[in-house]
């Protein structure tokens, strides 16, 4: 009679007992969030149930700051956004309760020293000064939505002499020649009016429509 060895049984998989944890964060320890309501993020080590995630923001005095908490499953990222403007200072963020697929629950992780160096905390920016700000909507260094937020806050604060220029497709610095020429011309007109008393261009108050902007840029290419 022929005999055959029994196949070795595959070792049983060890149960997953490791709870989720935070593997990266923005801002980093002691880092700055340059906008008063810019988002604070914490990336988790594994997929979790979005409904289980909890997070809170506490100021230096131990008072909880109202904030919206969202979870991006694709990036495994917890996003915490203050509901209102907050003053500059050091804050503490706690992320907790995130539950993975096997039921492991994340212990509270405290992110210390989240500094919020808000530009809008500086009242001198909204005093008797004029502001011309330029942004590219593809800025990889500073989110251009922070520029919009800063502009809107200034307008709500009653500041009138503030113009925001947005260049589609541009990064932190202008790369397209037509945009460089356009920005150069607007800077000259800005200082020409405020420093030399030249007539105020219409775009100071009325802005520029998309079609008018396209015509100007096409002329700059020539």
Amino acid 154: pLDDT = 79
In a domain, 204, yes or no: yes
SS (H, E, C) the chain: CCCCCCCCCCCCCCCCCCCCCEEEEECCCCCECCCCCCCEEEEECCCCCHHHCEEEEECCCCCEECEEEEEECCCCEEEEEECCCCCCEEEEEEEECCECCCCCECCCEEEEEEEECCHHHCHHHHCCCCEEEEEECCCCCCCHHHHHHHHHHHHHCCCCCEEEEEECCCCCCCCCHHHHHHHHHHHHHHHHHHHHCCCCCCHHHHCCCHHHHHHHHHHHCC
Indicate whether 29 and 52 sit together in one domain. Answer: yes
Amino acid 34: pLDDT = 40
Query: Quick count: other Cβ atoms within 10 Å of Cβ 157?
Result: 12
In a domain, 39, yes or no: yes
In a domain, 78, yes or no: yes
Q: What is the mean pLDDT of residues 190-194?
A: 94
Q: Which domain holds residue 127?
A: 122-220
Q: Do residues 93 and 59 touch, judged by C-beta distance below 8 A?
A: no
Indicate whether 133 and 58 sit together in one domain. Answer: no
Q: pTM to 2 decimals? A: 0.47
143-185 tens-digit pLDDT: 777 788 788 877 777 777 888 888 888 988 899 998 899 899 9
In a domain, 16, yes or no: no
Give me 87's structure tokens. 């003053």
102-128 tens-digit pLDDT: 999 999 988 765 555 555 555 556 667
In a domain, 8, yes or no: no
Indicate whether 205 and 127 sit together in one domain. Answer: yes
Q: What is the mean pLDDT of residues 192-197?
A: 94
Indicate whether 104 and 178 sit together in one domain. Answer: no
| Residue where a domain terminates, one of 119, 135, 168 | 119
pLDDT at 136 over 70: yes
80-98 tens-digit pLDDT: 888 776 666 677 888 999 9
Amino acid 172: pLDDT = 87
Indicate whether 162 and 199 sit together in one domain. Answer: yes
15-67 tens-digit pLDDT: 778 899 888 877 654 444 444 445 788 889 999 999 999 999 888 788 888 88
| Residue where a domain terminates, one of 119, 152, 186 | 119
Query: Percent of the chain scored above 70 by pLDDT?
Result: 75
In a domain, 68, yes or no: yes
In a domain, 135, yes or no: yes
| Residue where a domain terminates, one of 59, 86, 119 | 119
């Amino acid at each position: 009679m022929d005999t055959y060895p029994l196949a070795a049984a595959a070792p049983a998989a060890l149960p997953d007992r490791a709870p989720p944890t935070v593997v990266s964060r923005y801002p980093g320890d002691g880092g700055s969030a340059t906008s008063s309501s810019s988002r604070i993020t914490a990336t988790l080590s594994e997929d979790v149930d979005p409904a289980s995630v909890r997070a809170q923001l506490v100021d230096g005095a131990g008072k909880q700051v109202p904030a919206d908490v969202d979870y991006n499953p694709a990036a495994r990222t917890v996003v915490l956004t203050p509901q209102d403007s907050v003053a500059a200072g050091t804050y503490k963020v706690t992320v907790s309760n995130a539950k993975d697929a096997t039921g492991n629950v994340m212990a509270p992780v405290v992110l210390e020293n989240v500094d919020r160096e808000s530009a809008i905390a500086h009242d001198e920016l909204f005093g008797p000064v004029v502001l011309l700000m330029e942004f590219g909507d593809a800025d990889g260094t500073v989110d251009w939505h922070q520029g919009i937020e800063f502009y809107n806050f200034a307008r709500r604060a009653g500041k009138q002499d503030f113009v925001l220029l947005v260049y589609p497709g541009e990064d932190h610095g202008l790369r397209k020649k037509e945009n460089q020429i356009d920005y150069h011309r607007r800077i000259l007109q800005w200082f020409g009016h405020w420093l030399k008393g030249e007539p105020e261009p219409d775009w100071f108050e009325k802005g520029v429509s998309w079609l008018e902007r396209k015509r100007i840029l096409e002329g700059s290419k020539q």
